[in-house]
Structure 1
Amino acid sequence: MTRRILLLRHAMPDASPNSYPDAWPLSDDGAAAASQLCGRLPANGVLASSPELKARQTLEHATGRHADVVVDSRFAEVRRPDEPFDVGFRDRRFAWIVGQPHPIHELWETPEAAASRFQAGIDAIDGESVVVASHGMVLTAWLIAIDVVRPGIEAGRFWSTLSLPDLVEVPVP
């Protein structure tokens, strides 16, 4: 049996500094973009999602399926306590991806821990075809860990070019 793993990065949320990112719903444009993925995802695959609302909604819009989504916290974004919602957030995240230390990263989950957590979630799913709705940083950390994306600047380029939403098929030996 050849396993097929598709990673679905969430669509554009309706971001608000007044609520936590895990509660952000999709924006109208994000929901429309996720809906355009219908037909590109396997009809009978196992669907798994981060518990964050934007990831679950992306998967639901992209597949038209709601009831049979496995919600697993191991697919949540990198844990970043008290990250400021300001103009510097992309730079801090890029630095984390490429391995350039920043003082705030001391409070963040390490790339290795994030990738290990994500791998444990993948390992817990039985199925020939799996779709995981998740987030750009944790997806990139996992792809580095399984040698699909090279660390450093290549990982930064990969993460920087991910769309909202985006679909990445993982080569499985």
Structure 2
Amino acid sequence: MIYLVRHAQPAVRRKVAPDRWELTADGRSAAARLAGRLPWDPYLVASDEPKAIQTLHCAYPGRAVDTDPRFGEVRRVEPVDDGYAERRRQYVSGTPLPRWELASAVVARFAAAVTDHLARADGRPLVIGTHGMALTVWLAAALPTALAGGPTAPAGDPNALSGDPATLSVGPDAPAGGPAEFWAALALPDVLAVDLATATVVRQEG
């Protein structure tokens, strides 16, 4: 099983590149609370961005965390402004943006890293500290049916949409949605359990 951990809330510093941002105090507290949503004896790896590494360190105090830049966020030149959400929704939906890494390149590096670290995990759960857009475009490529309908309500209530789902929809009968809605519903932090064999993506609730 793969657990994708989206990092907790970072401190936004306009004069510092986003890939160097660190967690806020509240972000660290939220990351520590992830412990109840994650396996107890996993193989841990994070992108090389501080906010992803710190999120796993808070969730697993004292545990070693491997790093791999291939799990990093989409590489881009982007202003820190109010237009970020719409740009990112466009990007994860497949619209190339000037001076942004091609989604196909993100998928290739992320997929290669997953393969490598699954082998290193040697049967243990693989916990990956990563980022919202990167994990979304990889899932959209690796498990397209899992993102076809965007987020849904918990199992048993297939008709009610929720911004904080327990289960993410799978299959052609899922409600309208897609990668943009999936990305927008992700929390800071968040945990998604991914089963490649069954093509399912399930949010791990606390």
TM-score normalised by structure 2 residue count: 0.76
Deviation per residue, 1:21-52 (Å, 9 max, x gap): 11111011111111111132222211000111
Q: Which has the larger radius of gyration?
A: 2
CA distance in 2, matches of 1:144, 1:121: 16
Cα contact 1:144–1:151 (8 A) shared by 2: no
1:24 to 21, 25, 28: 21
1:146 to 118, 139, 142: 142
Cα contact 1:7–1:132 (8 A) shared by 2: yes
CA distance in 2, matches of 1:18, 1:62: 28
One-letter amino acid of the counterpart of residue 65, structure 2: V
CA distance in 2, matches of 1:160, 1:122: 23
Q: Could you say which residue in structure 1 is the equivalent of 2:189?
A: 165
CA distance in 2, matches of 1:64, 1:41: 13
Deviation per residue, 1:57-96 (Å, 9 max, x gap): 0111111134x2110000000111x211111111111110
Superposition deviation, residue 17 in structure 1: 0.4
CA distance in 1, matches of 2:34, 2:83: 31
Structure 1: which 4+ aligned runs deviate by more than 6 Å?
A: none
Superposition deviation, residue 151 in structure 1: 8.7
Gaps of 5+ in 1: none
Deviation per residue, 1:75-132 (Å, 9 max, x gap): 000111x21111111111111011245xxx1321121210111011111112221000
Listed as ranges, the matches of 1:102-121 within 5 Å are 105-121=97-113
Q: Could you say which residue in structure 1 is the equivalent of 2:87?
A: 92
TM-score normalised by structure 1 residue count: 0.90
SS in 2 for 1:39: helix
Asked which structure has the greater RCO (Cα within 8 Å, sep 6+), the reply is 1
Cα contact 1:111–1:141 (8 A) shared by 2: yes
Alignment size in residue pairs:
165
CA distance in 2, matches of 1:41, 1:100: 33
One-letter amino acid of the counterpart of residue 178, structure 2: E
Q: Could you say which residue in structure 2 is the equivalent of 1:45?
A: 42
Superposition deviation, residue 8 in structure 1: 0.1
